[in-house]
Amino acid sequence: MDPGGRAVTSWIRAGGLSDAFRPCDTTVSGAGKRTDLIAAHRAHGVVKPLVTGATRLVFALDDAPTERYGPHVQGAGAHHNPCPGPANGPFVYGHVWVVLGLLAAHPTWGAIALPLLARLYVRQKNLVVGAGQQQVRFVWANVGSFHLCLWAFTMTEAWAWCRGEKALVGHRLASPWDDEPRRPSHADKRRAWRRELPGDEIRAALHPGASEREIRAAAERLLNLAA
C-alpha cells in the first residue's frame, strides 16, 4: 500500500490514467466488493496448478498493518510496527488486515505463502462512536487496493515458479555487496518480471512488417514504463 494512504491515486497517476480517474477508482472499489469471488478465481486459475499432487493443503493466517492518517479514521488504531525503519517507531497508526494464504512447497525454495484473501481487523476500542466522528471514505477502494496488492504478490510468485535462479537474480552480478547465493526474494522476482515486460514490448514492436505508427506507439509505451 502507498505509505501516504492514497494507493489508488498513486497507481492511476503512475499509469498516466488521470483522465480516466473515475472509471479506474470505480473498478478498484468494485474489486473490493467482490474479493471472495475474485480470490476464488485466483485460487483456481493461478494457485491450484502450483499445488497439483499435494496430499493436503495448508493455509496460514498473518496480520499486516497499513499506515493511515487522520484522528478519526474508522477502524484504525495504534498497532505494533513490524517494520519500524530508520525512525524505529514501535507503533504504527492505521488498519490491520488479517491475511489468508496458501502455503505451497517449491521444489528448490521451500515453503512460499501465496496470499488470497484478507479481512480488516478492528478492535472494540477503535470503533468510533458519535455523529460526525467517523471518517468512512473510500472504504471499498481501501479493501480493493489492499487485495490487488495481495493478488499481485501471488501472481508474481506464480510467474517465477518455474524460472531458474539465474534468470531471477542476474542483477546481483552488478551488486558486489549483495549475497548472490541466497535464494531469490520476492523483490528479486518482481524486478525480473518488470524487466521482462519491456522486453516483450520491444519484441512486439520489432516483429516483421511493423508499421511506423506501431513502432511509435510501442516507443511511447516504453517511455511511459521508464517514467
pLDDT at 143: 84
Alpha carbons 15 and 73: distance in angstroms, whole number: 28
Alpha carbons 118 and 146: distance in angstroms, whole number: 8
Check: CB of residue 102 under 8 Å from CB of residue 113.
yes
pLDDT in tens, 96-154: 889 999 999 988 888 999 999 999 887 766 666 655 555 555 677 778 888 888 898 99
Cell representation of residue 70: 487522520
Alpha carbons 155 and 38: distance in angstroms, whole number: 13
Check: CB of residue 105 under 8 Å from CB of residue 111.
yes
Cell representation of residue 205: 514492436
Over the Cα atoms of the chain, what is R_g? 20
Check: CB of residue 150 under 8 Å from CB of residue 118.
yes
pLDDT in tens, 118-129: 998 877 666 666
Report CA-CA distances (Å) from 27 to 59, 110, 120, 138, 196: 29, 35, 20, 12, 26
Give the global pTM. 0.71
Q: Is 210 a residue whose pLDDT tops 80?
A: no
Alpha carbons 135 and 68: distance in angstroms, whole number: 11
Backbone φ and ψ of 207, nearest 5°: -65, 150
The residue ranges of every structural domain in the chain are: 7-162, 167-226
Report CA-CA distances (Å) from 195 to 24, 156, 219: 25, 13, 16
The mean per-residue pLDDT over the stretch 174-179 comes to: 58
Strand boundaries in the chain, DSSP class E: 58-67, 77-80, 91-106, 110-121
